[in-house]
């Protein structure tokens, strides 16, 4: 299923997209609930996708856990050693951005960078799960743009500031259930385009720590709950590592496309 979360008639609702229309499930309280127990809900009206204001698949995740340096070539382009344990940081809910929305250009920096990533949404509580069982805890997958303010990311050894500017983490547009994709969403082409130009072009099979391994490692420390999001890291081709560097600016359009999942599109604009 391709599940969307949207605002309609002032209400947040959830539905299943097919082509240019969406079947609304009025009693579903979340995309995760619909993904994991669709048979419990009765479908309602069918509406045109174009009429809906799409939101993040999970508008306010309990946890958004991000993984750094999870593609070998990306670690190398930044002058980093290949990690033997994932770099983990968190994003707060105000940093997230709905599909079609504008990334807020920071007035204090000219170093707003793009990062194409696969997002994993947890569907079932996971504590100390093994890698062999980890994929059973997934509700679905989506696109993520881990927009990073690079000079703030490097103000300390912790990346939190540079990764939590308001409305810099694009997320969506749909939640794709695991049955639609290869196991662990492996082997999918992952692309970032800036104003139509391909900047990143890789494959999710190139992750250093795959989806199952990440869930096992994270759940060793923290309970993963339904609706939690894992942004699994970005491949090479980011703006700061280019010569000369390429950063986003107001008026730009950034697209994150993942094979079989879809395309997340966001513009860049100054804060209103």
- Give yes or no: residues 91 and 50 share one domain: no
Q: Which residue range(s) make up the domain with 216?
A: 64-270
- Give yes or no: residues 232 and 266 share one domain: yes
User: DSSP of 170-223, one letter per residue?
Assistant: EEEEEEE-GGGSSGGGTT-EEEEEETTEEEEEEEGGGBSS-HHHHHHHHHHHS-
Quickly count: other Cβ atoms within 10 Å of residue 182's Cβ: 13
How many domains in the chain? Answer: 2
* pLDDT tens readout for residues 236-271: 999 999 999 999 999 999 999 999 999 999 999 999
- Give yes or no: residues 209 and 248 share one domain: yes
Mean pLDDT, rounded, for 137-159: 97
Q: How far apart are CA 59 and CA 175, in angstroms?
A: 12
Q: Is residue 79 scored above 90 in pLDDT?
A: no
Q: What is the pTM of this model?
A: 0.97
DSSP annotation of 129 reads -
State the pLDDT at residue 77.
Answer: 86
Q: 15, 36, 54 — which closes off a domain? A: 54
Q: How far apart are CA 149 and CA 164, in angstroms?
A: 9
Lookup: tokens for 88: 């983990």
- Give yes or no: residues 83 and 146 share one domain: yes
- Give yes or no: residues 161 and 28 share one domain: no
State the pLDDT at residue 135.
Answer: 98
- Give yes or no: residues 34 and 147 share one domain: no
Q: Is residue 81 scored above 90 in pLDDT?
A: no
């Amino acid at each position: 299923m391709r599940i969307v979360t949207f605002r309609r008639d002032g209400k947040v609702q959830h539905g299943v997209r097919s082509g240019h229309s969406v079947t609304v499930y009025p009693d579903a309280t979340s995309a995760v609930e619909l993904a994991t127990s669709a048979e419990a809900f009765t479908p309602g009206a069918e509406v045109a996708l174009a009429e809906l204001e799409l939101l993040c698949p999970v508008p306010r995740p309990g946890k958004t856990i991000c993984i750094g340096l999870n593609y070998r070539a990306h670690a190398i382009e930044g002058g980093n050693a290949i990690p033997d344990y994932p770099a983990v940081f968190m994003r707060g809910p105000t940093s997230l951005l709905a599909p079609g929305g504008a990334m807020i250009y920071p007035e204090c920096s000219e170093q707003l960078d793009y990062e194409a990533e696969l997002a994993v949404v947890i569907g079932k509580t996971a504590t100390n799960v093994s890698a062999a069982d980890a994929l059973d805890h997934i509700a679905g997958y989506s696109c993520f743009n881990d927009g990073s303010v690079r000079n703030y990311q490097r103000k300390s050894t912790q990346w939190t500031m540079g990764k939590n500017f308001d409305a810099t983490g694009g997320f969506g547009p749909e939640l794709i259930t695991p049955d639609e994709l290869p196991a662990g969403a492996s082997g999918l082409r992952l692309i970032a385009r800036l104003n139509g130009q391909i900047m990143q072009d890789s494959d999710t099979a190139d992750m250093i720590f795959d989806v199952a391994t990440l869930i096992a490692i994270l759940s060793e420390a923290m309970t993963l709950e339904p609706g939690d999001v894992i942004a699994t890291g970005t491949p090479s081709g980011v703006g700061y590592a280019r010569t000369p560097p390429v950063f986003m600016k107001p008026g730009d359009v950034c697209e994150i496309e993942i094979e079989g999942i879809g395309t997340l599109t966001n513009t860049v604009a100054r804060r209103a």
